[in-house]
Structure 1
Amino acid sequence: MNLPIVVGVDGSEPSLRAVDWAADEAALRGAPLRLVYASLWERYEGAALAQDFGKPSEQVMAEDIVRTAAQRARLRQSDVRIATDVLPEEPEYALVREGHTAAALVVGSRGRSGVVEMLLGSVSLAVAAHADCPVIVLRGSHDNQVRAGTQGRVVVGIGEQATDSAALRFAVQEAELRHATLDAVRAWRCPAHESTEHPLLAGEPARLHEQHAAEVLEQALKDVPEQVGLRRRTVEGPARRVLPDASRDADLLVVGARRNPGHVGLQLGRVAHAVLHHSACAVAVVPEQV
């Protein structure tokens, strides 16, 4: 049985775009789609209000939101099996728990409480930092649209510990499903203390660092199936700048986030945090177990 694609909905425009993306993702995978609305309406409106006036107004709104989202998903992908749920709890906790039995979670860049499209909402950030399945965060472009599968390019960031990378496996799968080119990018930097102005040594430290980056990249990609169109790139600069630059004209940017079971708090790392805020396309954050 295929695990579902789970999408968090709250009626906002970013969440409706997430529904579109999730429906397409479910269709590509032949997976069911699960639409989840989570809110603490029950705690704030109370059981007494429900008994006196019927359903709490927030519950009525929530049910309308998931019903509308399901209709939208059916119109987009009529063959996808769809389930809905309304959960009376904090959305970040509900979605992280949903991720235990999901192939992937899909969320918008911000919810109804967001004020600026370019800022990532707290729920999206928390889910990306804690879920134990891949989390796809939809980044809004300047025309307020997110288009899935139009560029034919999936970008994946290759880290230092790239062997047996869950992020790379996910990126390969996405590229295969989309019949897209996999653009594997390894960022590298030459530490300032290794630079030299001596004419006979100029460029030598940089060359060695670039060579090491190319070796890491080659080792990481050695098991990528031959049928996947593959582009290898080593780019000088910090990964948190190189990867957002590489995301232009891409369908998806995939990065790993190391998970330490004993650690409390956000588990993203600087690179994943930066691309979530600055990528020009959707970002998939894939947990990597330490």
Structure 2
Amino acid sequence: MSAASAAPVVVGVSPRTGSPSALRWAADYALLRQAPMVAVMAWRPPRAPAAPGGRPPGSLLSGGLPDPEHEAAEQLEGYVTAALGKGHGVECKTVRGNEVSSLLEAGAEAQLLVLGEPRPGRMASVRTGLVAPQLVTGATCPVVVMPNSAGASLTQAIESTVERAKARAAAPE
């Protein structure tokens, strides 16, 4: 299967942390599977500040607010570049909406959905507001949730497993 025809590996990127271990792990996996990789980050426009008298603040009328879609795209590109370096070859996609529906949609055609580390203790209690449990139960593809201590890359883990297998095969019985 060529990279052009392979289903992508989709990574959900947190706007809070940038999900660096998820990006690195997914990049290793995509390389091994010769699959394209798509980094997805959901964004929402900021709420307009309240104004007395029911009139919008002057900054809204004059167009003085920054473009949140452009800011999200720059933030995502920065996170991916920080984790993988320049020339990473990852498609960066920002989606207006909530995290769960955006990632479920992006993962519909994916071979794998990779999520960054949840905050400590957050996966233990499956509450309706948490992103990872909703994706694990709702996705149509396999989902990987990075552990909080994800240090080794997929490549290192595979190399370690291969070395142990070679050592066992070479050991006299």
TM-score of the pair, normalised by structure 1: 0.43
The AA in structure 1 aligned to 2:112 is A
Q: Work out which structure has the larger RCO, using CA pairs closer than 8 Å and 6 or more positions apart in sequence.
A: 2
* Residue correspondence of structure 1 range 142-153 to structure 2 within 5 A: 145-149=150-154, 150-152=156-158
User: Residue 21 and residue 12 in structure 1: after superposition, are their counterparts in 2 closer, same or farther (change >3 A)?
Assistant: farther
Q: Which has the larger radius of gyration?
A: 1
Match of residue 75 from structure 1: 85
Match of residue 157 from structure 1: none
* Residue correspondence of structure 1 range 226-237 to structure 2 within 5 A: none
User: Residue 7 and residue 52 in structure 1: after superposition, are their counterparts in 2 closer, same or farther (change >3 A)?
Assistant: same
**Residues 231-259 of structure 1: per-residue CA shift (max 9 Å, x gap):** xxxxxxxxxxxxxxxxxxxxxxxxxxxxx
User: Residue 39 and residue 107 in structure 1: after superposition, are their counterparts in 2 closer, same or farther (change >3 A)?
Assistant: same
Name the CA distance, whole Å, in 1 between partners of 2:102 and 2:85. 26
Aligned Cα root-mean-square deviation (Å): 3.1
The AA in structure 1 aligned to 2:120 is E
Task: Give the strand-richer structure, 1 or 2.
Answer: 1
Q: Which runs of 5+ in 2 are unaligned?
A: 50-58, 124-128, 163-167, 169-173
User: Residue 19 and residue 72 in structure 1: after superposition, are their counterparts in 2 closer, same or farther (change >3 A)?
Assistant: same
How far residue 60 of structure 1 moved from its aligned partner, in angstroms, is 4.4
Q: Which runs of 5+ in 1 are unaligned?
A: 111-115, 153-177, 182-228, 230-290
How far residue 14 of structure 1 moved from its aligned partner, in angstroms, is 6.7
User: When the two structures are aligned, how many residues end up with a matched partner?
Assistant: 144
Aligned partner (choices 2, 7, 11) of residue 11 of structure 2:
7
User: Residue 180 and residue 91 in structure 1: after superposition, are their counterparts in 2 closer, same or farther (change >3 A)?
Assistant: same
Name the CA distance, whole Å, in 2 between partners of 1:50 and 1:106. 41
**Residues 116-173 of structure 1: per-residue CA shift (max 9 Å, x gap):** 42422811111111000011100112xxx43223344xxxxxxxxxxxxxxxxxxxxx
Moved more, 97-106 or 59-68: 59-68
**Residues 100-128 of structure 1: per-residue CA shift (max 9 Å, x gap):** 11111100132xxxxx4242281111111
Match of residue 34 from structure 1: 38
Identity of aligned residues (%): 24
Secondary structure of the equivalent of 1:147? Answer: coil
